[in-house]
Structure 1
Amino acid sequence: MLKPLLRLDNLTIAFDGAVVVDALTLTVNAGETLAIVGESGSGKSVSALGAINLLPSNAEVSGGRWLEETDLNKLTRRDWNAVRGNRVGFVFQEPMTSLNPLHRIGKQIGEALRLHQGLRGQAARTRSKELLEQVKLPRADELLEAWPHQLSGGQRQRVMIAMAIANNPALLIADEPTTALDVTVQQDILALLKELRDQHGMGMLFISHDLNLVRRYAERVCVMYRGKIQEIGPVEEVFNNPQSDYTKALLAAEPEGRPAALAATKPLLTARQLKVSFERPKTGLFKRQPPPFEAVKAMDLTIAPGETLGIVGESGSGKTTLASAIMRLVQSRGEINLGDVPLSQLTGNALRRQRHRLQMVFQDPYGALSPRMPVFDIVSEGLRFHYPDLPLSEVTQRVHQTLHEVGLPESCAARYPHEFSGGQRQRIAVARAIILEPELLVLDEPTSALDRTVQKQLVTLLRQLQERRQLSYLFISHDLAVIRAMAHRIMVLKDGEVVEQGSCLDVLASPQHPYTQALIAAAHLRQLPA
């Protein structure tokens, strides 16, 4: 007999009278994983936050909520503080905004241990180190002394998971816990969560847009659309015999197609013997400074006009550091040439004058846009900086034209980032980059925070922009289905080194390196039609 752990009965959530979750009824049993899937804006995360009272004060929440025998509607603020982080663990979708930028990792994990278990000092540090090792983070001693900004997106996500499981909760709510992770680490993390679930009889509410992961790690699935349940039932039953039209469309939505063929031409970007290293933090007051950490080791690459070079590899393999080095956002050694311009030798105004030729779309569509600026100012900022003499009328025309090009109406220009979904924010970030008509666009996990239907739309948009503008892309992703749909060539990174590279289809069809083979096996790629 399954023991009900979390029960929601007609949970309804509204903001200023607008209903965003409509009569949601579901049960998470002890020892099982219930997955919630649906497109961005369908109410998945809001439902989870509403279940444990984490919504802002303007949210109107009604309906029944129980955690085992506890009526959650009757809890005081102090009661909630004792429940959250102890009986209920929560892995948030955005690790950078969930971690305090002013505290080291060790202190943040230790806070959860101190509040709920009373652990302090060496006992808390030892337990914190165990938790980091449990979520497969290497160099745990160093990471305890690191700041959140020094970690990759995937490393920050695993720190969040370590904090969530620190007190062995009865219920774990995981909101896109594998968004920033490569496929092999996804499997490791979810296998770990499944192991913890089985050991402790924990129940898991798993929110994800990755249907492959849902199929492998959840027992039941709930499909949501516009705040309502479309269908709910055992995973295999729903996936093999979907009843609603929306579920059928969701299951069919995978990035498809291939980029346009390339004409032979000389490279646009060339990097030779590119290296990036970072100082390691001391692990003790009287200990020696450890040697620098080599994030990128003597790497060569070229990108031709109109070409997409796909970069894949596990979290911490150096993908984002490589992109930042090419953008001249971190110090590096070696040569970087954009056409005939030696970027690696430029500084100050000389470097700033080249910035319009290469632009970057960052991984996090929520953190990449200033919440205090309307979309018009966000998109036009670079244009106004590089071309200060442009009249306002022309700036306005180009902003509206660019928004239209990325599939957004002109009316978006007057709105603020918080009014948009993740997919819409990523389109705004693309518009901000392409309004300067760059030759090279660096895209760092641009689809990782998006559901499959929006991923497919964004991939199609990027290919259309590439064809129209002859754009070159450095495309970083852990999603091999997206890489296959976007990239002409592929480079596989591990521990800061290139372990394999070549034509995208050749590498995916016949990988030579064991790590590439493991990545592809974990991704469960569908076969391309002949």
Structure 2
Amino acid sequence: MPNPLLRIEHLDVTFDNTPVVHSLSLTLQAGETLAIVGESGSGKSVSALGMVNLLPSNASVKGERWLGDTNLANLTESEWNAIRGNRVGFIFQEPMTSLNPLHRVGKQIGEALRLHQGLRGEAARQRSKALLEQVKLPRPDELLDAWPHQLSGGQRQRVMIAMAIANNPSLLIADEPTTALDVTVQQEILALLRELRDHHGMGMLFISHDLNLVRRYADRICVMYQGRIQEIGPVEQVFQHPQSDYTKALLAAEPEGRPQDIEQKAPLLTARQLSVSFKRPKTSLFKRQPPAFVALQPTDFHIAPGETLGIVGESGSGKTTLASAVMRLVTSQGDVTLGSDKLSALTGDALRRHRHRLQMVFQDPYGALSPRMPVFDIVSEGLRFHYPHLTTEEVAQRVKQTLHEVGLPESCAARYPHEFSGGQRQRIAVARAIILEPELLVLDEPTSALDRTVQKQLVALLRDLQVRRQLSYLFISHDLAVVRAMAHRIIVLKDGEVVEQGPCLEVLSAPQHAYTQALIAAAHLTS
């Protein structure tokens, strides 16, 4: 066996004297993919960040770390800067918070090329364009001039991948690299990463909660729980003959069941001819303004009380745009009616008075949570705004009860978002939404950052909340297994246009449109 590309021995990570990773040891060979799996908060991301010195100042990292012949434990900050982004590429879990909102996409990719390859100007732009093409992004010239907020979650994730592979690293650490991507693009991206790995002899550390992807694309698997390795070995060996009880439970977990049947009632929410267009940026002062980009074609749909309408489609298909239009977070055309109130005609204070009736859980929970506020203030902020008559004790009691409902202990109320895993932050976002007791909850990829065991728990929680509170859901997801467990009806979007819609089980079992058929085939969805 050749010397490993990466060797970690007895890695310990503590935050303010609280241990979170215990004696982690692993090796990674060049050309190999090692997957790290485990539930949210198990230490997967913290271990990877600790390996390359990207943890905050209150973290302590001990143990041996070697990248080839380089001892990573003894590097200066300038030496780290020469390695990160060059010999080591990192795809972060949350692309919106990893991309600078004040710089265009082309400048951010070009920065890595300038720092490590000395490329500038047109040479950097052409290389950046080629990288966007490599990660299957359409219209690369336009995207180079776009701002991060103008891209979908999946598009931002692919920009992060392009930045990570820009300098052909020998080690690529991919922390949930396909979290925001639909199933068809997931396969394209992971096939691309495998192709790059094989071509360059690159080693890949692949952190994921998607066991189907791990099984298809990893060579070995490391299972973590509460900061400790439960077992490690070849993928097929672990999947077919798991040794630890935790691994067995993890492999058996998958969203199951169906939402409760609903009575036929007048719609709670109705959208008629809802559409969204965005102005394209001018590429030159002297050129004409290009035509607007139509993100959502005129669309009609309704949601009944207690019903879940699922929205599925590839990244950039218009799912989040549709949700934002319903929430009046983007400028749109058409009518949106909630009950007897025409939301599309309301502005200012009149619209704000209805905000508590419909709430949204965003795709990127870290970007949606203020890093300067503790969890108590985050969850209670809307409550204090919409119900100012509540006493301090009443607010505290509601926060405690809501945190309990989403599976978080009362003790987390005093902590800040950066102290939680991605899945835990998602549950905080759900708590912030449901504490207002809305009639409609818009859920934008609410399970994308969660491992399968927590996905199953959250799906059960959302269904239970729906029955007890008669909640209606607009549920956006690329995970068809979760959609099947949650939705009564689904709409399939492609390029901003509805290509198919109908009862959930009918569409998933007998899809009529070729695109829907391709989505289901890529998801390996079984009946």
**How much has 1:511 moved relative to structure 2?**
1.0
- Residue 165 of structure 2 corresponds to 165
- Residue 521 of structure 1 corresponds to 521
Tell me the amino acid that sits aligned with residue 294 of structure 2: E
Tell me the amino acid that sits aligned with residue 107 of structure 2: K
- Residue 351 of structure 2 corresponds to 351
- Residue 44 of structure 1 corresponds to 44
Any idea what SS the aligned residue of 1:306 has? coil
- Residue 441 of structure 2 corresponds to 441
- Residue 179 of structure 1 corresponds to 179
**How much has 1:3 moved relative to structure 2?**
5.2
1:383–1:62 CA distance, 2 compared to 1 (3 A): closer
- Residue 201 of structure 1 corresponds to 201
Tell me whether 1:289 sits opposite 2:292 in the alignment. Answer: no
> In 2, Cα distance between the equivalents of 1:248 and 1:356?
42
1:187–1:2 CA distance, 2 compared to 1 (3 A): farther
The answer to whether the 8 A contact 1:443-1:476 is kept is yes
> In 1, Cα distance between the equivalents of 2:153 and 2:428?
21
> In 1, Cα distance between the equivalents of 2:237 and 2:9?
23
Any idea what SS the aligned residue of 2:450 has? coil
Greater mean alpha carbon deviation, residues 443-452 or residues 283-292: 283-292
**How much has 1:2 moved relative to structure 2?**
5.0
Tell me the amino acid that sits aligned with residue 371 of structure 1: P
Greater mean alpha carbon deviation, residues 365-374 or residues 118-127: 365-374
Tell me the amino acid that sits aligned with residue 329 of structure 2: L
The answer to whether the 8 A contact 1:375-1:417 is kept is yes
> In 1, Cα distance between the equivalents of 2:164 and 2:357?
42
Any idea what SS the aligned residue of 2:7 has? strand
- Residue 211 of structure 2 corresponds to 211
**1:361-413 Cα shifts (integer Å, max 9, x gaps):** 11122222222223232222222222223333333333333333333344443
**1:57-106 Cα shifts (integer Å, max 9, x gaps):** 33222222111122222322222211111111111111111111111110
**How much has 1:345 moved relative to structure 2?**
1.0
The answer to whether the 8 A contact 1:45-1:175 is kept is yes
Any idea what SS the aligned residue of 1:512 has? coil
- Residue 398 of structure 2 corresponds to 398
Any idea what SS the aligned residue of 2:468 has? helix
1:134–1:349 CA distance, 2 compared to 1 (3 A): same
1:70–1:412 CA distance, 2 compared to 1 (3 A): closer
1:232–1:301 CA distance, 2 compared to 1 (3 A): same
> In 2, Cα distance between the equivalents of 1:7 and 1:90?
17
The answer to whether the 8 A contact 1:3-1:30 is kept is no
- Residue 377 of structure 2 corresponds to 377
- Residue 457 of structure 1 corresponds to 457
Greater mean alpha carbon deviation, residues 394-403 or residues 504-513: 394-403
**How much has 1:418 moved relative to structure 2?**
3.1
**How much has 1:224 moved relative to structure 2?**
0.9
- Residue 416 of structure 1 corresponds to 416
The answer to whether the 8 A contact 2:440-2:471 is kept is yes
Output the TM-score relative to the length of structure 2: 0.97
> In 2, Cα distance between the equivalents of 1:517 and 1:201?
35
Greater mean alpha carbon deviation, residues 80-89 or residues 407-416: 407-416
**How much has 1:301 moved relative to structure 2?**
0.6
**How much has 1:512 moved relative to structure 2?**
1.1
Alignment of 1:486-501 (within 5 A): 486-501=486-501
Tell me whether 1:92 sits opposite 2:95 in the alignment. Answer: no
1:76–1:35 CA distance, 2 compared to 1 (3 A): same
> In 1, Cα distance between the equivalents of 2:229 and 2:396?
41
Alignment of 1:228-377 (within 5 A): 228-377=228-377
1:308–1:192 CA distance, 2 compared to 1 (3 A): same
Any idea what SS the aligned residue of 2:363 has? coil
The answer to whether the 8 A contact 1:171-1:203 is kept is yes
Tell me the amino acid that sits aligned with residue 160 of structure 1: M
1:195–1:244 CA distance, 2 compared to 1 (3 A): same
- Residue 116 of structure 1 corresponds to 116
- Residue 30 of structure 1 corresponds to 30
Any idea what SS the aligned residue of 2:367 has? coil
CA RMSD in angstroms comes to 1.4
1:253–1:54 CA distance, 2 compared to 1 (3 A): same
Tell me whether 1:16 sits opposite 2:22 in the alignment. Answer: no
Tell me whether 1:150 sits opposite 2:145 in the alignment. Answer: no
Output the TM-score relative to the length of structure 1: 0.97
Greater mean alpha carbon deviation, residues 428-437 or residues 258-267: 428-437
**1:453-502 Cα shifts (integer Å, max 9, x gaps):** 11111111000000001100000001111101100001111100011111
The answer to whether the 8 A contact 1:35-1:207 is kept is yes
Any idea what SS the aligned residue of 2:397 has? helix
Query: How many residues get paired?
Result: 527
> In 2, Cα distance between the equivalents of 1:420 and 1:127?
37
The answer to whether the 8 A contact 2:282-2:289 is kept is yes
> In 2, Cα distance between the equivalents of 1:34 and 1:148?
30
The answer to whether the 8 A contact 2:41-2:424 is kept is no
Tell me the amino acid that sits aligned with residue 354 of structure 1: H
The answer to whether the 8 A contact 1:142-1:282 is kept is no
**How much has 1:276 moved relative to structure 2?**
0.2
Identity of aligned residues (%): 82
1:454–1:62 CA distance, 2 compared to 1 (3 A): same
**1:120-142 Cα shifts (integer Å, max 9, x gaps):** 00000000000001101111111
- Residue 105 of structure 2 corresponds to 105
The answer to whether the 8 A contact 2:30-2:201 is kept is yes
The answer to whether the 8 A contact 1:20-1:43 is kept is yes
> In 1, Cα distance between the equivalents of 2:132 and 2:236?
33
Tell me the amino acid that sits aligned with residue 134 of structure 2: Q
**1:173-214 Cα shifts (integer Å, max 9, x gaps):** 101100110010000000000011111111111010000000
**How much has 1:416 moved relative to structure 2?**
2.9
The answer to whether the 8 A contact 1:141-1:283 is kept is no
In the alignment, structure 1 segments of 5+ residues that lack a partner are: none
**How much has 1:525 moved relative to structure 2?**
1.9
> In 2, Cα distance between the equivalents of 1:26 and 1:320?
39
**1:115-162 Cα shifts (integer Å, max 9, x gaps):** 111100000000000000110111111111111111111111100000
The answer to whether the 8 A contact 2:40-2:424 is kept is no
**How much has 1:281 moved relative to structure 2?**
0.7
The answer to whether the 8 A contact 1:105-1:143 is kept is yes
> In 2, Cα distance between the equivalents of 1:158 and 1:367?
18
> In 1, Cα distance between the equivalents of 2:309 and 2:35?
34
> In 2, Cα distance between the equivalents of 1:425 and 1:116?
34
Greater mean alpha carbon deviation, residues 381-390 or residues 31-40: 381-390
Any idea what SS the aligned residue of 2:55 has? coil
> In 1, Cα distance between the equivalents of 2:422 and 2:57?
22
Any idea what SS the aligned residue of 1:367 has? helix
Any idea what SS the aligned residue of 2:368 has? coil
**1:9-43 Cα shifts (integer Å, max 9, x gaps):** 22222222222221211111111111110111111
Any idea what SS the aligned residue of 2:237 has? helix
In the alignment, structure 2 segments of 5+ residues that lack a partner are: none
